[in-house]
Each structure stands twice: as structure tokens, then as C-alpha cells.
């Protein structure tokens, strides 16, 4: 597995990470725990060193899963675990909005350390910007945790350019995590140039468009009521039907490259910047193998130009997220 550094932070990780959320939250009922532990450990064996979770996934259960799965690799320098704070969550798992008050950040860090079974959190993201707490106070709280040895690196998720710059002035931001893929290009105008300027790594979540870019979802696909996509504007039957043109384009390139649509989508992201590290998620060993194969797909400058030119002529139907979530994302 190839390695990449997240900007100037010095944090080196595998070129592709593994997003673990969907194993226990967000995409229907939780998968079998032992099967997911085996999948995570299989990813380590295949060279994946970067694993993404959050306290809100479950809540709590995904961090516990990742902690148990990666326990054999602790202290060996084999894995980097990223987790997130920023939501208010009661002990019973009920969410009550955003909460990035400094004292709460420190409480979350202590709880996450226990669930992850580690002494230090490698990368600690603010999951969503809290409009009620100055970002300088958030960055200061994480800076304190870094000084205490409880956190190694600070990250931001779905933050705007101004917020990133202000946070970085207080505590260096190692990585920004936002949705980015061939059909979600929002970070390109401002966020990616800013990351390049400040030496910040970029971690695209949903690099396969919540699974749509794999080509395995069509207008007839049925989603469980607990699957986020059941409420996403891009995943209504009509939107899926109209957005099929996106997958058809990927299929054309994939056939020529003897690859799959998912591999082309991931290879395209890897070619955008050397400090971009996508974190596709999966519950299936075969999909893990497929995704990791993307690092071996070579896209020439002509290929990349062809893909960008073709996509510029397509119109993706539907917002990437429901309005209430977009508000939380500051978009």
C-alpha cells in the first residue's frame, strides 16, 4: 500500500483509509460485530493504516468496534485512528445538537480514549462547526489536549475557509475532512486551495458518493428506513434515475482501464492532490479489495482531462444532503 502525508503535519497514512461509520450506523441496521472486526483487521493486513470513526456513530458503538478491532496493533505504529467530537450526546445515546464547549471537548476525549483503547487519539476532528463557540476556543481546547499527550493532531470536518484559517492560527490543523467526490465538488473553489496554502491534508468522506458511484445502486434500489440515503435528495428514485449518467460515464472509463467504476472514482481523487486521502467505507471484504485496487489504477493527464470535461457537461440532480444537515455543515 502506498503512503501519503497529510499536509505538513508529518502524519503519514495509507493512501486510502477505511471509513468505519457504516459498519454500525447510518446505512441500515448494524452489521455483525465479529465480521466487522475481521474486516478491519483484514484491512490492516492489506496495508491500510488509517481508520475513521466518531463518538456519534452509534452513538459510541463504532468507536468501541474500532477500538476492539485495532487493539492488537496498538503501540506498534501500524495504525492511525481518527475520531470526532462536536455533538451533544446524552448517556443513553440521544443527541441534543452541537456542543464544542472546551470542557465538553475534553470530556469527549477522555471517553473516546477508553472506547478506542488507546493512550492518545491520533487525529481529533471537530465534527461540525458550533456557531455558539468561537473556533479559537475549540482550537485552544484541542491544543491543550495535545500538550497533555492525549491527542496528536487536530482536524476539522465540513468547515468553511475562514473557520479553518482562524483555527489554524491557534492550533495547526493537520487535516480537513469534507464530502468530496466526482459528483460533489464543493471543496474545489476555496477549501482545497486553502489546504494547499496552509499545508493541511484533505480527507474526502463519501468518496464513492454514498455508494452511488460504484454503479450498484439504481432507481429500483430499496433503502432501509434507518439508512440515511432514504432521506437524501440525491437518492430519490427520480434523482437516481437521472443521475445514472454519472455512472455510465465512469463505466466507459473503467472498461478501458480494466477497472471498476468505484476504482476510477477513487483513482480520480488520488490524482487531485498528493495530500488527499479518501476514506471509502464498506462492510464487504470483496469491496475492500476492490477499493484498495484503486491505488494501482493509472490515470493519465488525458484521462483526467476527459473525465473532468465529461463531468462538466453533466448536471447532478438533488442536493448532496438534506437541508437541515447542510445547515449544520455551514453550507
The CATH classification number of 3-328 equals 3.20.20.100
Q: What per-residue confidence (pLDDT) applies to 58?
A: 96
Is the full-model pTM beyond 0.95? yes
- Give the integer Cα–Cα distance in Å for 216 and 261: 10
Annotated active-site residue 180? The verdict is no
Average pLDDT, the chain: 96
Q: What per-residue confidence (pLDDT) applies to 328?
A: 61
Bridge partners of 90, per DSSP, are: none
Based on its alpha-carbon atoms, the radius of gyration of the chain, rounded to whole angstroms, reads 19
- Give the integer Cα–Cα distance in Å for 58 and 43: 21
Measured from the Cβ of residue 41, the count of other Cβ atoms closer than 10 Å reads: 15
The residue annotated as part of the active site, out of 57, 96, 125, 180, is 57
Q: What per-residue confidence (pLDDT) applies to 77?
A: 74
The SS3 call for residue 83 is: strand
Q: What per-residue confidence (pLDDT) applies to 74?
A: 81
Place of cell 476539522: 156
Q: What per-residue confidence (pLDDT) applies to 330?
A: 47
Mark out the alpha helices in 148-278 (DSSP H runs): 161-170, 191-198, 237-242, 244-257, 261-270
For residues 179 and 210, the answer to whether their CB atoms sit within 8 Å is no
Q: Where are the domains of the chain?
A: 3-328
Query: Per residue in 290-305, pLDDT tens?
Result: 999 999 999 999 999 9
For residues 127 and 87, the answer to whether their CB atoms sit within 8 Å is yes
pLDDT score of 244 more than 90? yes
Kindly indicate the confidence band of residue 331, based on its pLDDT and cuts at 50, 70 and 90: very low
- Percent of the chain having pLDDT more than 70? 98
Amino acid at each position: 500500500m502506498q503512503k501519503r502525508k497529510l499536509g505538513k503535519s508529518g502524519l503519514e497514512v495509507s493512501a486510502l483509509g477505511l471509513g468505519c461509520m457504516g459498519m454500525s450506523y447510518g446505512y441500515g441496521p448494524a452489521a455483525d460485530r465479529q465480521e466487522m472486526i475481521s474486516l478491519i483487521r483484514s484491512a490492516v493486513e492489506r496495508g491500510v493504516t488509517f481508520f475513521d470513526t466518531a463518538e456519534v456513530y452509534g452513538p459510541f458503538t463504532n468507536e468501541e468496534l474500532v477500538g476492539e478491532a485495532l487493539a492488537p496493533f496498538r503501540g506498534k505504529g501500524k495504525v492511525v485512528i481518527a475520531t470526532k467530537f462536536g455533538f451533544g450526546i446524552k448517556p443513553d445515546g440521544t443527541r441534543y445538537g452541537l456542543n464544542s464547549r472546551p470542557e465538553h471537548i475534553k470530556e469527549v476525549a477522555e471517553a473516546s480514549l477508553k472506547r478506542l483503547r488507546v493512550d492518545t487519539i491520533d487525529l481529533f476532528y471537530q465534527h461540525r462547526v458550533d456557531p455558539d463557540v468561537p473556533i479559537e476556543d475549540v482550537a485552544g481546547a484541542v491544543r491543550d489536549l495535545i500538550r497533555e499527550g492525549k491527542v496528536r493532531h487536530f482536524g476539522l470536518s465540513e468547515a468553511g475557509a475562514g473557520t479553518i484559517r482562524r483555527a489554524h492560527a491557534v492550533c495547526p490543523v493537520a487535516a480537513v475532512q469534507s464530502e468530496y467526490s466526482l459528483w460533489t465538488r464543493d471543496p474545489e473553489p476555496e477549501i482545497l486551495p486553502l489546504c494547499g496554502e496552509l499545508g493541511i491534508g484533505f480527507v474526502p468522506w463519501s468518496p464513492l458518493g454514498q455508494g452511488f458511484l460504484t454503479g450498484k445502486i439504481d432507481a429500483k434500489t430499496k433503502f432501509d428506513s434507518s439508512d440515511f440515503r432514504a432521506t437524501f435528495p440525491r437518492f430519490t428514485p427520480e434523482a437516481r434515475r437521472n443521475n445514472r449518467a454519472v455512472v455510465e460515464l465512469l463505466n466507459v472509463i473503467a472498461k478501458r482501464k480494466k477497472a471498476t467504476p468505484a476504482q476510477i472514482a477513487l483513482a480520480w481523487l488520488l490524482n487531485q492532490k498528493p495530500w488527499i486521502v479518501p476514506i471509502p467505507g464498506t462492510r464487504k471484504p470483496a469491496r475492500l479489495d476492490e477499493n484498495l485496487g484503486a491505488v494501482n489504477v493509472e490515470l493519465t493527464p488525458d484521462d483526467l482531462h476527459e473525465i473532468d470535461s465529461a463531468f462538466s457537461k453533466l448536471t447532478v440532480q438533488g442536493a448532496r444532503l438534506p437541508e437541515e444537515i447542510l445547515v449544520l455543515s455551514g453550507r
